Structure 1
Amino acid sequence: MYRMLIVDDEAIIVEGLTETIAQSDYPLELHQAYDGEEALDIARKLRIDIVLTDIQMPEMDGTRLQREIVRLWPRCKVIFLTGYNDFSYIQSSIRGGAVDYVLKTEGDEPILAALAKSIALIDEEMTYDRLIVGAREQMKAALPVLRKEYMSSLLAGDPPSAGSRRAQFAELGLPFEADRPVLAAIGRIDKWRDDIAGGDKALFRYSVDNIFREFFSRDFVLFQLPGEHERLVWLMQPGDGKFAAAFAPGAEGDGLQAYMLGMLESVQSACSQYLQLALSFVVASGPCSWEALPAKYDSLSALFERGLGLGSEMLLSDERFAEGSDRQARAKVKRIRLLDQYLAQKDREKFFRLFDDIAASVEGAPSLHSGLPLEAFFELTAIFVSHMNRLDAFAALGAGGQPSKLYAIHEHASWAEAAAYFRQTAERLFERMSDESETETNEVVDRVYQYVQDNIAGDLSLNRLSDHVYLTPFYLSRLFKAKSGQSISDYITSERVELAKRLLAESHLKIHEVGMSVGYDSAPYFTRFFKKATKLTPQEYRDSLKKI
């Protein structure tokens, strides 16, 4: 769909051109203006693809309008109309980048030909291949950031399908196999040197990664990304060498853990010697699936936060820490942050699938007032308070939702009761978001209906209607059609036709007066409009009623 602006200081010309072009097969959204200033005001609010403008207009002529619009929308194509075959005008317009120059006396065919030429030029500039090539070039420059963002999303706990993962690995040039297990290791700089300024920390992290690669890149493909609390995370898969078998389903490890701990000890020594930095590492005892990676990452991170993990230059594997139900539950609770994202995205299915999984994992805790239930309760409280405040939902929930239960854990007898309360509240929030969206849509459409009926003889351009409801023209057009099942222009046309029929049947107004009453100052244009809609001229329609 292309957006076209028709500009002339003679209304009959604007209306005639609009009707002619509207009957063409070109995918156009048409806008009208009756002087340069009005045209420029429209261009400031809407992207304009094609302008058909008179070159001689008072106040702001066509060449000046061209300069101003092209400054706003450099790809806009301009076609000039004039009643004078003046070479100086032609030369000036062509120098300014005009697509074509048409005399008003030449009729419709040259105008439609110039329009076709403009659309062809736009299509040539915006071909799929050119857009994709440009996007790929930009993506190439942004690849390091995009890779880290994607890998961080895998750690966050919402892994995509293997097929989607495979496609993303290929698109981003990541060195991993989507169906093969992955090994995780996490590093922590225990204490920064006093002589390292804040801006130098990134350089030292990069140096740590270089040392890590020196020891591991011969046997593994790997990727480093930032973790929580400024930690360094490495994800690894083997090449086709000695550790390939350790990553096969059901493999026993085949010396993998001893190798990892030995090499990490060497990394520690090198960082201490060459960078004067003390580092600690935790590493998984074996590879895990991509789907299990978020839980594995959380369990490895937890090793930094208790016991031996609180020391300096420690080196631990998670082998000595059984993956019991408590650790699995902790890993699931860590994913609560995703519920915030799913609420914001209005993704009901993902929200409740994760919520139910988390709720079930906490169910077996001995007391609501300690451990995981306490952590989960107040994590959920923070998420729900934020969204209820955003939706102004406290008053609505106050009637029957007992909002005090949202932040008073003692009001719940058990975790099961608390989880049921949160689930019910989430249902109400999703309903409120849906109702709010539907209500606002209905209000916008009703305001358009009312404005059209109150101003049927006035300016009912999409631009004017969008100003009235404080939305962009494009969004209003899409919203109105989705709700009402018809375009705004079709609705306005039907309202004008119905009013014109009533006036022709019930009043003694002359034909041109009926036309003015429904927004057409030009009697010939009103006649063409009415005949197109009813197959009869206004007079023929009036005469047909007398025969009944």
Structure 2
Amino acid sequence: MAQLLIVDDERHITDRLSELVPWSESGIKGVHKAYSAEEALDVMEACTIDIVLTDIRMPGMSGLELSEQIRRRWRKTKCILLSGHAEFEYAKEAIRHGAVSYLLKPAKDEELLAAVAQVRTELEEEWREIISQERIAQAMRENLPQMRGNLLGELLLGKRYAAAELRDKMTMLSVPGFYEQGFALMLVRLEQPFHNYDPHSLALVEYAVGNMAEELFQPDCELWHGKDVHQYLVFLITHKEENGDCAELYRMLENKAGQLKDAIHTFLRGSATILISRTGVFPADLATMYDGTLSTLRKRIGDVSDLIMTVSDAAIGESETCSLSSLYELPSLSHLLEAGQWQQAEQRLKSIAAELQTEEQLLEAYFVIASAASSYAHKSGQRLSDLIGPGYEKLTVGLPFRNAQQLLDWSLELLGRLSSEAESEKQDSRAKLIADVRQFVEQHLDEDVSLTAIARHVYLHPVYISKIYKLETGENITEYVYRIRMEKAARLLLDTSDKIYEIAARLGYQRAHSFIHVFKKHTGLTPQEYRDKYGS
């Protein structure tokens, strides 16, 4: 369903077209109004508009100039021009510059609906082409290396996928056959002079290293490479000959890694340190092998450069003993709280508690959970003590828990307080927004009460306002404005002796004729007939 913007400096024409033409018959979901080309551009900035129906002759910026700006700034938006006979040549010129259609004024409703339906069909065909399987497949082929690297980077950071989902992602990205296969991990730390390179030059070097590694390890091995948060290059390597001799495999890997280091020296004029892990099974052993390799780099190599080393099983074991994978899994606990994903946060807390074995781990988990809650509170502009009440005292007395269950009970209670406060704040915020919208509409019925004007008043995006209003009240803002106008019109007709044109003006209609049409459509009676029938 498309969004339509109607632009005309004569308010009664704009209002009549927006309110009386059954646009939904042409697949239009929302109708927006503007009374000048300048205001139309403001609406375009605030809302996603698919079709613009604009008059040509307007003071200031003309409809032709407007359509030209739209063509340059919003390439997917289509313009339909309304022109008199005198502007017919201008209309043809505008079509040559991007407008898709024109209609002679005064246009009948059937002509308007047909033109808009035709343009909407053209838009749908364009989007179908954009999202066509062929184009998507081509785009994926062009971006496969980066997408593969991104997936590997997520896995290294601890993001977990269900088995079927990870298999599907790997298949979609044409990742070599790693799943549930043996593999080794190779970590490459680029050193001098690469530390001083600008991002573009460094990216070229990293691309070159990836290509050199592919060339050196094939055809005996399959590689999958990416980059971790430390800016190290990470290669997963699987040998095509399964059940081969392990010692021979490591000799081969070390030999290839040596050739890669020499190639970096020779062709890129720089140095690198390379670590090779022991083998494991993907994806079960990935986190352990990666953590162990990083630990070895930190503890046994440090800032010494230009080395090759095979990581020992002891280093991996050390990392495995102390690591709490659920505590740092992506998305992190902080991210889950910030996104309001309360159920996922609860499951994460339970997973963390299930991994706790020592008092040290209990302390580590306690600090991370408390830090996440504190960060959430401060980013929400509140104090944690105000959010969680009496439970805050436990944060100030050191480690108040002796076992995982006590920590879990406290954490879940903390989570419940945070989620309840967030829900209450959301409801209060929405209630205030609804009240502000209604107050503005009721006080400005004789002025501009378009969605754009309301958005400017409450300092929020029009799409957000429209969606929240509909969600909370069950009716669209345009329906509410229309209903309030008609209800006020009925009261004024029965409770005052004001003339019809005076009532029309108080309701924002510049011409009584437009008001009479709208009122009759709503009640089945003209304003005078309504007054005569129901007045005392």
TM-score over 0.5 for the pair: yes
Contact 1:224 1:233 in 2 (8 A): yes
Kindly tell me: are residues 326 and 470 of structure 1, through their superposed partners in 2, closer, same or farther at Cα, counting changes over 3 Å? same
Counterpart CA distance in 1 for 2:506 and 2:150 is 59
Counterpart CA distance in 1 for 2:391 and 2:6 is 58
Contact 1:211 1:267 in 2 (8 A): no
Deviation at residue 223 of structure 1 after TM alignment: 0.6
Contact 1:511 1:538 in 2 (8 A): yes
Deviation at residue 390 of structure 1 after TM alignment: 0.2
Match of 1:4 in 2: 4
Secondary structure class of the residue paired with 1:167: helix
Contact 2:157 2:329 in 1 (8 A): yes
Match of 1:142 in 2: 143
Match of 1:293 in 2: 286
Kindly tell me: are residues 490 and 258 of structure 1, through their superposed partners in 2, closer, same or farther at Cα, counting changes over 3 Å? same
Secondary structure class of the residue paired with 1:57: coil
Secondary structure class of the residue paired with 2:81: strand
Match of 1:315 in 2: 310
Amino acid of the structure 2 residue aligned with 1:293: L
Unaligned runs of 5+ in 2: 266-270
After TM superposition, the structure 1 stretch with the greater mean CA deviation from structure 2, 205-214 or 514-523, is: 205-214
Q: Deviations over 1:497-545 (max 9, x none)?
A: 2222222333333333333333333323222222222233333333332
Contact 1:54 1:62 in 2 (8 A): yes
Residues 242-321 of structure 1: matches in 2 within 5 Å? 242-243=241-242, 246=243, 255=245, 257-271=246-260, 275=264, 279=273, 281-288=275-282, 290-291=283-284, 293-306=286-299, 313-318=308-313
Secondary structure class of the residue paired with 1:281: strand
Deviation at residue 90 of structure 1 after TM alignment: 4.0
Contact 1:329 1:358 in 2 (8 A): no
Secondary structure class of the residue paired with 2:3: strand
Q: Deviations over 1:258-304 (max 9, x none)?
A: 3332223323543565556574534244324x255334433454444
Contact 1:298 1:331 in 2 (8 A): no
Match of 2:382 in 1: 393
% identity of equivalent residues: 30
Please state if 1:327 is matched with 2:315. no
Secondary structure class of the residue paired with 1:126: helix
Contact 1:394 1:403 in 2 (8 A): no
Residues 64-463 of structure 1: matches in 2 within 5 Å? 64-85=65-86, 87-105=88-106, 107-128=108-129, 133-176=134-177, 178=179, 180-187=180-187, 189=189, 192=191, 198-199=196-197, 213=214, 216-227=217-228, 229-239=230-240, 242-243=241-242, 246=243, 255=245, 257-271=246-260, 275=264, 279=273, 281-288=275-282, 290-291=283-284, 293-306=286-299, 313-318=308-313, 327=321, 329-335=323-329, 338-362=332-356, 364-365=357-358, 367=359, 371-394=360-383, 396-397=385-386, 400-403=389-392, 405-406=394-395, 408=396, 410-416=398-404, 417-463=406-452
Deviation at residue 413 of structure 1 after TM alignment: 4.6
Kindly tell me: are residues 296 and 425 of structure 1, through their superposed partners in 2, closer, same or farther at Cα, counting changes over 3 Å? farther
Which one has more relative contact order, counting CA pairs under 8 Å at least 6 apart?
2
Counterpart CA distance in 1 for 2:204 and 2:40 is 54
After TM superposition, the structure 1 stretch with the greater mean CA deviation from structure 2, 371-380 or 495-504, is: 371-380
Counterpart CA distance in 2 for 1:543 and 1:110 is 36
Match of 2:504 in 1: 515
Counterpart CA distance in 2 for 1:6 and 1:268 is 65
Counterpart CA distance in 1 for 2:277 and 2:45 is 57
Kindly tell me: are residues 26 and 268 of structure 1, through their superposed partners in 2, closer, same or farther at Cα, counting changes over 3 Å? closer
Secondary structure class of the residue paired with 1:118: helix
Q: Deviations over 1:431-490 (max 9, x none)?
A: 333333332222212211111222233321111111111122222111211121111111
Contact 1:182 1:287 in 2 (8 A): yes
Kindly tell me: are residues 232 and 66 of structure 1, through their superposed partners in 2, closer, same or farther at Cα, counting changes over 3 Å? closer
Contact 1:531 1:537 in 2 (8 A): yes
After TM superposition, the structure 1 stretch with the greater mean CA deviation from structure 2, 143-152 or 220-229, is: 220-229
Contact 1:44 1:72 in 2 (8 A): no
After TM superposition, the structure 1 stretch with the greater mean CA deviation from structure 2, 430-439 or 83-92, is: 83-92
Secondary structure class of the residue paired with 2:85: coil
Kindly tell me: are residues 228 and 186 of structure 1, through their superposed partners in 2, closer, same or farther at Cα, counting changes over 3 Å? farther
Counterpart CA distance in 2 for 1:86 and 1:212 is 66
How many pairs align? 524
Deviation at residue 165 of structure 1 after TM alignment: 1.7
Counterpart CA distance in 2 for 1:94 and 1:310 is 66
Kindly tell me: are residues 462 and 133 of structure 1, through their superposed partners in 2, closer, same or farther at Cα, counting changes over 3 Å? farther
Unaligned runs of 5+ in 1: 247-253
Counterpart CA distance in 1 for 2:147 and 2:224 is 13
Counterpart CA distance in 1 for 2:205 and 2:447 is 68
Q: Deviations over 1:47-106 (max 9, x none)?
A: 433332332233333323332333332333333333334554344333333333333245
After TM superposition, the structure 1 stretch with the greater mean CA deviation from structure 2, 264-273 or 26-35, is: 264-273
After TM superposition, the structure 1 stretch with the greater mean CA deviation from structure 2, 308-317 or 131-140, is: 308-317
Contact 1:8 1:53 in 2 (8 A): yes
TM-score (normalizing by structure 2) = 0.84
Secondary structure class of the residue paired with 1:520: coil
Match of 2:14 in 1: 14
Counterpart CA distance in 1 for 2:238 and 2:284 is 15
Kindly tell me: are residues 421 and 259 of structure 1, through their superposed partners in 2, closer, same or farther at Cα, counting changes over 3 Å? farther
After TM superposition, the structure 1 stretch with the greater mean CA deviation from structure 2, 533-542 or 441-450, is: 533-542
Deviation at residue 151 of structure 1 after TM alignment: 1.4
Amino acid of the structure 1 residue aligned with 2:350: D
Counterpart CA distance in 2 for 1:387 and 1:308 is 37
Counterpart CA distance in 1 for 2:16 and 2:233 is 68
Secondary structure class of the residue paired with 1:127: helix
